[in-house]
Structure 1
Amino acid sequence: MRLISCFLLLVISASVFAQDNVTISGKIRDKETGEELIGATVFVEELKTGAVADFDGFYSITLQSGYYTLRFNFIGYEPVLKEVKLLQNEHLNIVLSQSSNQLAAVEVSAFRNDENVKSAEMGVIKLNAAEMKTIPVLFGESDVMKTLTLMPGVATTGDGNTGLYVRGGGPDQNLILMDGAPLYNASHLLGFFSVFNGEALDDVTLYKGGIPANYGGRISSVLDVKLRDGNKEKLTTSGGLGLISSRLTLEGPLVKDKSSFIISGRRTYADQFLRFSKNETINNSILYFYDMNFKMDYKISEKDKIFFSGYHGRDVFDYNEMLSFDWGNTAGTLRWNHIFNDKLLMNTSLIYSKYDYSFNIFIDESEVTLFSGIEDVNLKVDWDWFPNDNNKVKFGISTILHDFSMPSFRSNIEDMESMDVPNKNAIETGIYIQNEQKLTERLSVNYGLRYSIFNLRGPGEVYDYDDEVERVTDTTSYKSDHIYKSYGGLEPRLSLVYLLDEHSSVKMSYNRGLQYLHLLSNTSAGSPSDLWIPVSNVIRPQIGNQFSTGYFRNFLDNMFETSVEVYYKTMDNIVDYKNGANILFNPTIETELLFGRGWAYGTEFFIKKRVGAFTGWVGYTISRSMRQIEGINNDKAYPQRYDRTHDLNILLSYAINPKWTLSGTWIYATGNPVTFPVGQYEYEGRLVSFYTERNAHRLPAYHRMDLSATYNPKKQGKRFHSSWNFSIFNVYARENPFMITFRESEINPGRQEAVRTALFRIVPSVTWNFKF
């Protein structure tokens, strides 16, 4: 409590000396659609300072009384200049028009261009939908997850992977949010598509380090994705028809100037091509995914607005009516935005999220079903307070009810009993306060403090184990809502920037996080059936500490953006399997686990050209990610399965003219660590592989090139617009290994040989996009 009191004292004392100041605030919207513009900027020409609109398009600047010229900007929009006379608090709403010059549309204001240098944020990646559409991706889809993997410090383990690996952390250590709702599996078709439909996105922010205090529950990164509002002025339809998938979006006003909606859906139809196969087993199989986003907003008054957004998606696989597997997410957010005055606003959110999977085996009339999942209900309140132009305070509280459905199965086979492993329940609460403060003209700091607590609650049975956690010694039953175990702690956050001059700065950050959930996986690529489990009386919270520092510099009037960032991360209470572990249908899963620590370190280099017809970036990361777990690898440290020493990404885009835009990417990465057999021995007439060190070998290096061309016809109707996208995935047909298996050599019987399996060689794609 003393820490919070001191925190508030710093801010309030700064406000006392600014009693003669006045505040101008309002919202920045798109002129054509009425949509609030997240990240739009307000620049005070006389003072060379400004502010950035939040995710509701709201801005607030506190200045001394006087005459000022304000410049309002947003990427791809024409700037607006306003001369204002500020003698008292003013409310000023602004509408911006999209730029008519397509080649110059990437140019933005000076304030926005040097934000990477002057902002206290570091380890942050921000993207908008327009930037993502020019990047060639698999099957012609604009995909935020694919785009992020082209940035330094962000990686996957290759084709067919379902997760992001950020600065040496695991896929379970990323908090992925869609309009505030957590998504526990963010991929379709084993990672070839993500759950994020580019047609519905408005703003994407990835925090690799320096994570603000309003985020909690994960220790490596936060991916915060905002869905866009619907068009408030007119009804529009847009979509795309491709070789593998299609999408459709419908949006428009419900009540003129008060309410709007947007609904967007996708479906792949690869399974329809299976019907042409001459193989009866294949043409009777099914493989597809579908998903749907929607959002609705209603303006109650100038100070009150309600938002309701949702997502539902499902992957479906059926092999000849013998085997089926489906998985997916359902999420929804109801948010009330209230503006108390020009300095204080509040957002109250009720959030629902569910992820589950089901695996079915059919034998004649018999059926066996395996299922598991996790379900959350979250109530949170966040306040934004703008006491003066040098401070921006955010504070809030959230409570999450977790319901973990442990792996269970049902069967109608007479000699096979169904097994229901009891659910686990928990309550996770977090409270935080943070401030973004400008201390001097050169020094700015963002500091915050979060306190979280995780309570395990009944009903359920809790097991006590012996010292080796191998045998149950006692069992205790708890009634509903009885709290039987609690964990908690403080999570300080700090980041600062010091300006060396107008074009360069140095930054530092530190963040500590507690994570009360673990993801159990025994595959190198991840699987939809990976198991989420909470802490217990044996399994402790993961604790992450990350230190980072960096140098940032822009050149040629912010045409080129460059940075070098160095980080070091520690991770305690990491969980892994014992050899031969059995986690399915096991209520005493703690007996199958081992515990240890991890650490990761690296250096990230980044250069980006952001203005003009020719744009792009180069990102390079050199890093290591290590683990040390008692009982594995003779207790010695070993590289994690997603450790990549070298990771290089090159993206180039060239707008030839208003009709044609060309783009391409090239990716190179060190092969992932794997454990290969080093020999064999004969046992009871069979050859058995012999293994030594964990992850002592590596797959071949991963590299590929993708190319894309977008064609915008010049002559189009006033209401109808269309474009064509042509892309080639893996242009030079590199056979990157999805997995390596071993078999007996036909040439040299008795000897094993490695067999590489690749998922794709060249994959061409054509997509027709339209809007009317």
Structure 2
Amino acid sequence: MTKYFLVAYFFLISAATYSQEKIILSGFVKDAGSGESLIGALIQQEGTNNATSSNSYGFFSLTLTNPNAKVSFSFIGYETQVQDLKLTKNSRITVELKAKSNEIDEVVITGNQKNGNVTSPQMGRVNFTMEEIANVPVVFGEKDILKTIQLLPGVASGGEGTSNFYVRGGGSDQNLILLDEATVYNAAHLLGFFSTFNSDAIKDVTLYKGGIPAQYGGRISSVLDISMLDGNNKEFGVEGGLGLIASRLKVEGPIVKDKSSFMLSGRRTYADLFLKLSNDEKVNSSKLYFYDLNAKANYKFNDRNTLYVSGYFGKDDLSYSDLFSFDWGNATATARWNHIVNDKLFSNTSLIYSDFSYNVNVNSDDTDFTIASKIRNFNFKEDFAYYATPVSTFRFGLNVLHQKISPASIDSGDDSNVNSISVDSRQGLEAAAYISHDWKPLPRLGVIYGLRLTNFSVLGPGTFYQFDQDGEVRDQNNYGSEIVKNYLYLEPRLSLSYQISDQSSVKTSFNRIVQNLHQLTNTTSSLPTDQYVVSSENIKPQIADQVAIGYFRNFANNTYEFSMEAYYKSMHNQIDFRNGADLQANAYLEGELLYGIGRSYGLEWYFKKQRGRLTGWLSYTLAKSERQFDQINEGEWFNARQDRTHDISLVGIYDLSKKWTLGATFVYNTGNAVTFPSGKYVVDGRTTYYYTERNGYRMPDYHRLDLSATYDRKLKNKKFSSSWTFGVYNAYFRKNAYIIDFRESEDNPNVTEAYKVALFGIIPSVTWNFRF
């Protein structure tokens, strides 16, 4: 062990010696018009391969090989700026880049550096901004992050119109969704038809589906990291949009010019207003709407310290008169302090809060009860980035997260025929530390390697049960405020790339990730009433090991981009349910669970044109996802619910003129695996179906065409601008199956027939967007 410490000590001393001989240029890259930080801007010493990129706060650090150097600053969609520097000491600057006017020919979906997909060792990473998805047609005409990422290889939709998604064969609960570092537990409005993310308030979106960096943990399939806009610190501005069923408004501006700013954005649907037109009094007094609010402010104390405060609150409200009501929503809050320790060391300290809750109320003559559930966490994070040399960057940090779950409990009225049921809360404490090294030991070889150490403590108080193989209680223990059980795991991460030429490279990656929060659902879409549980004495942490290899190639000066990736993922401690499991308000819920293993593997192809009047991409995924449980399907492997053999997406965006932009999306996929009855029997005149093979059947294949047209009206020498977006969802009226159910034939009761329920036909939409 001593020799390893000596090697590490020698390496750090060498890095320090190197830094003392060179000049360090550091600072921030920002938008000249708004002061927004630019994430992933390229900073390069002219005439050399010495380059770096700005981090998620726009900060960069570049060690110059010559104090009299020309340095270029570039970002897609912005004018490149070259500065002729004559430095005698380490210097810190702020560079403001001007946006190009009418920039339409450099739409990049993966990364901000033109050939970053080739040169970076990171694989399985997709990055885009809101401008880059503005013309992708989606249901109801709203720009939607979650529906756009479903068009990428390796990412599958959870179903018709839903915001739910699956990544590389994993479950929907295996995706970590972050909004300014805060966890979002249910990212859907109106049961999935809208996502919780108002695009007007979003600056940057990054999806990791493989090679996940060591700073992320807690979910075994993917990480979706979303950053909100900081707010314009130059001038005040207003923008928004009016649609057929939803409208939105954003206000931003400086608090102190060039020093602090704010952003406030809101959105609301008004589908419930149409209910007022009904002559039925019960319908007239019903509710059907959602709203959300994004807010962010920042203050720059000096060149070294900046404070950011942001929050999100969203709620859905659904009710039928005073007989039934159902509401659910997310709330997050984040406070972050950016501190430049020195020209090479950058730190970010975060305090984070997030929760998700739902309430169901039923009130009739003899039935009066409320079902309520909540999940809440507090998180402290400390992250550092050390820019040792132009080819060596270290990232390290720690985080401590306290999580508390109040499971669904029933509170009934005095005259109700429903009994009250109280279920103990569960809580846990997860502590993690990580270190990673982004290193380029050779001009054509890049490597990112790291290690994450995670410890999860199951906390009391509460009653914990042990169950036998049949799910019956065999023992119970009562704990006070103490640690019930600990789970300690090491999570290695590795990504390698070798650049074959300036336009092509091969990459490979491996990552192990542990997950201690589990969502219990027996449907293909995530519902607000799905239950959450933390790891316990019975429920072990989920573990996934994923290995991937890929080939990346650009053509015609990076106009065309091609990639092919293969992956294999093994999953341990997977959860499924016994037949007829009761998931709601059940103190013995863990007895309804079964534990097994899983595997998924596949090939992903991605071809994209990112410049010119016609842009877009074609993605194709060939995949398999399976599970194996001793008590299911006689112990044989069976298809996971989200198993989908073929998944194809074609996206095209055409710049018809300076005012008109056309968009089209075509999707095709194999139907999800589903369990259908294999037979039936009649007892006392009642028909009962019986089931054999789990997920042994398929829903019909799914395909759909969406179209859009945007008319952009800009007035010369005027700050006001507006646009109209017209869309058609499901343009050729394909009646895709949302549900397939079974019933007895009216003509012959001895015959059982299947029938299909389609959710959508053609859906037209129109939205007026404005800005001033």
Which residue type is aligned with residue 254 of structure 1?
Answer: I
Match of 1:317?
318
Q: Which deviates more from structure 2 when the two are superposed, residues 416-425 or residues 516-525?
A: 416-425
Match of 2:100?
99
Match of 1:749?
749
Which residue type is aligned with residue 459 of structure 1?
Answer: P
Question: Is the 1:104–1:612 Cα contact (8 Å) retained in structure 2?
Answer: yes
Q: Pick closer, same or farther for the CA change 1:692–1:189 going to 2, 3 Å.
A: same
Deviations 1:32-69 (Å, cap 9, x if unpaired)?
A: 11111112211222113411111111111112234322
Question: Is the 1:20–1:64 Cα contact (8 Å) retained in structure 2?
Answer: no
Deviation at 1:110, TM superposition (A): 12
Give the alignment of 1:367-766 within 5 angstroms: 367-414=368-415, 416-466=418-468, 468=469, 470-480=471-481, 482-715=482-715, 718-766=718-766
Question: Is the 2:109–2:128 Cα contact (8 Å) retained in structure 1?
Answer: no
Q: Pick closer, same or farther for the CA change 1:617–1:14 going to 2, 3 Å.
A: farther
Match of 1:267?
268
Question: Is the 1:51–1:59 Cα contact (8 Å) retained in structure 2?
Answer: yes
Match of 1:123?
124
Which residue type is aligned with residue 397 of structure 2?
Answer: G
Question: Is the 2:110–2:125 Cα contact (8 Å) retained in structure 1?
Answer: no
Question: Is the 2:369–2:418 Cα contact (8 Å) retained in structure 1?
Answer: no
Q: How many Å separate the matches in 1 of 2:331 and 2:8? A: 39
Deviations 1:130-152 (Å, cap 9, x if unpaired)?
A: 10111111111111101100000
Q: How many Å separate the matches in 2 of 1:78 and 1:107? A: 16
Which residue type is aligned with residue 424 of structure 1?
Answer: R
Deviation at 1:460, TM superposition (A): 1.1
Please report the TM-score for the alignment, with normalisation by the length of structure 1.
0.97
Q: How many Å separate the matches in 2 of 1:87 and 1:109? A: 37
Question: Is the 2:292–2:315 Cα contact (8 Å) retained in structure 1?
Answer: yes
Q: Pick closer, same or farther for the CA change 1:752–1:2 going to 2, 3 Å.
A: farther
Q: How many Å separate the matches in 1 of 2:689 and 2:466? A: 36
Q: How many Å separate the matches in 2 of 1:507 and 1:764? A: 43
Give the alignment of 1:121-270 within 5 angstroms: 121-270=122-271
Q: Which deviates more from structure 2 when the two are superposed, residues 555-564 or residues 671-680?
A: 671-680
Q: How many Å separate the matches in 2 of 1:227 and 1:353? A: 16
Q: How many Å separate the matches in 1 of 2:398 and 2:267? A: 35
Deviation at 1:158, TM superposition (A): 1.6
Corresponding residue SS for 2:216: coil
Q: Which deviates more from structure 2 when the two are superposed, residues 559-568 or residues 137-146?
A: 137-146
Q: Which deviates more from structure 2 when the two are superposed, residues 381-390 or residues 412-421?
A: 412-421
Question: Is the 1:117–1:553 Cα contact (8 Å) retained in structure 2?
Answer: yes
Q: Which deviates more from structure 2 when the two are superposed, residues 250-259 or residues 414-423?
A: 414-423
Deviation at 1:190, TM superposition (A): 1.5
Q: How many Å separate the matches in 1 of 2:374 and 2:523? A: 18
Question: Is the 1:76–1:108 Cα contact (8 Å) retained in structure 2?
Answer: no
Deviations 1:215-255 (Å, cap 9, x if unpaired)?
A: 01111100000001111011111100000100000100111
Q: How many Å separate the matches in 2 of 1:723 and 1:4? A: 61
Q: How many Å separate the matches in 2 of 1:424 and 1:199? A: 36
Corresponding residue SS for 1:634: helix
Percent sequence identity over matched residues? 46
Corresponding residue SS for 1:117: helix
Q: Which deviates more from structure 2 when the two are superposed, residues 634-643 or residues 561-570?
A: 634-643
Q: How many Å separate the matches in 2 of 1:366 and 1:111? A: 57
Deviations 1:466-494 (Å, cap 9, x if unpaired)?
A: 4x2633333322222x1111111100000
Question: Is the 2:111–2:117 Cα contact (8 Å) retained in structure 1?
Answer: no
Corresponding residue SS for 1:526: coil
Question: Is the 2:163–2:194 Cα contact (8 Å) retained in structure 1?
Answer: no
Match of 2:40?
39
Which residue type is aligned with residue 52 of structure 2?
Answer: A
Which residue type is aligned with residue 45 of structure 1?
Answer: E
Corresponding residue SS for 2:713: coil
Question: Is the 2:431–2:456 Cα contact (8 Å) retained in structure 1?
Answer: yes
Q: How many Å separate the matches in 2 of 1:6 and 1:439? A: 19
Corresponding residue SS for 1:116: helix
Deviations 1:610-641 (Å, cap 9, x if unpaired)?
A: 11111000000000000111211111111111
Deviation at 1:452, TM superposition (A): 0.3
Question: Is the 2:352–2:380 Cα contact (8 Å) retained in structure 1?
Answer: yes
Give the alignment of 1:271-350 within 5 angstroms: 271-350=272-351
Q: Pick closer, same or farther for the CA change 1:232–1:82 going to 2, 3 Å.
A: same
Which residue type is aligned with residue 615 of structure 1?
Answer: T
Deviation at 1:771, TM superposition (A): 0.8
Q: How many Å separate the matches in 2 of 1:395 and 1:236? A: 38
Q: Which deviates more from structure 2 when the two are superposed, residues 682-691 or residues 276-285?
A: 276-285
Corresponding residue SS for 2:36: coil
Deviation at 1:322, TM superposition (A): 1.5
Question: Is the 1:65–1:88 Cα contact (8 Å) retained in structure 2?
Answer: no
Structure 2 unaligned segments of length 5 or more: list them.
Answer: none
Q: How many Å separate the matches in 2 of 1:134 and 1:761? A: 22
Q: Pick closer, same or farther for the CA change 1:109–1:740 going to 2, 3 Å.
A: closer
Which residue type is aligned with residue 518 of structure 1?
Answer: H
Which residue type is aligned with residue 38 of structure 1?
Answer: I
Q: Which deviates more from structure 2 when the two are superposed, residues 747-756 or residues 198-207?
A: 747-756
Which residue type is aligned with residue 80 of structure 2?
Answer: P
Deviation at 1:9, TM superposition (A): 4.5
Corresponding residue SS for 2:676: coil
Q: Pick closer, same or farther for the CA change 1:108–1:767 going to 2, 3 Å.
A: closer
Deviation at 1:418, TM superposition (A): 2.3
Question: Is the 2:124–2:208 Cα contact (8 Å) retained in structure 1?
Answer: yes
Q: Which deviates more from structure 2 when the two are superposed, residues 52-61 or residues 413-422?
A: 413-422
Structure 1 unaligned segments of length 5 or more: list them.
Answer: none
Deviations 1:346-405 (Å, cap 9, x if unpaired)?
A: 111000000011111111486310011210000111111111111111100100011110
Corresponding residue SS for 1:93: strand
Please report the TM-score for the alignment, with normalisation by the length of structure 2.
0.97
RMSD after superposition: 1.9
Match of 1:64?
65
Corresponding residue SS for 2:301: strand
Question: Is the 1:99–1:105 Cα contact (8 Å) retained in structure 2?
Answer: no
Q: Pick closer, same or farther for the CA change 1:354–1:253 going to 2, 3 Å.
A: same
Which residue type is aligned with residue 439 of structure 2?
Answer: Q
Which residue type is aligned with residue 214 of structure 1?
Answer: Q
Which residue type is aligned with residue 277 of structure 2?
Answer: F
Question: Is the 2:679–2:691 Cα contact (8 Å) retained in structure 1?
Answer: yes
Q: Pick closer, same or farther for the CA change 1:20–1:59 going to 2, 3 Å.
A: same
Deviations 1:53-110 (Å, cap 9, x if unpaired)?
A: 1111111111223432222111211111112234431212111111113334548999
Deviation at 1:686, TM superposition (A): 1.8
Deviations 1:537-558 (Å, cap 9, x if unpaired)?
A: 1110100000000000000011
Question: Aligned residue pairs: how many?
Answer: 770
Q: How many Å separate the matches in 1 of 2:564 and 2:9? A: 35
Q: How many Å separate the matches in 2 of 1:737 and 1:688? A: 24
Which residue type is aligned with residue 55 of structure 2?
Answer: D
Which residue type is aligned with residue 425 of structure 2?
Answer: N
Corresponding residue SS for 1:190: helix
Corresponding residue SS for 1:122: coil
Corresponding residue SS for 2:113: helix
Question: Is the 1:238–1:771 Cα contact (8 Å) retained in structure 2?
Answer: yes
Deviation at 1:2, TM superposition (A): 7.8
Q: How many Å separate the matches in 1 of 2:344 and 2:203? A: 25
Q: How many Å separate the matches in 1 of 2:312 and 2:108? A: 33
Q: Which deviates more from structure 2 when the two are superposed, residues 161-170 or residues 78-87?
A: 78-87
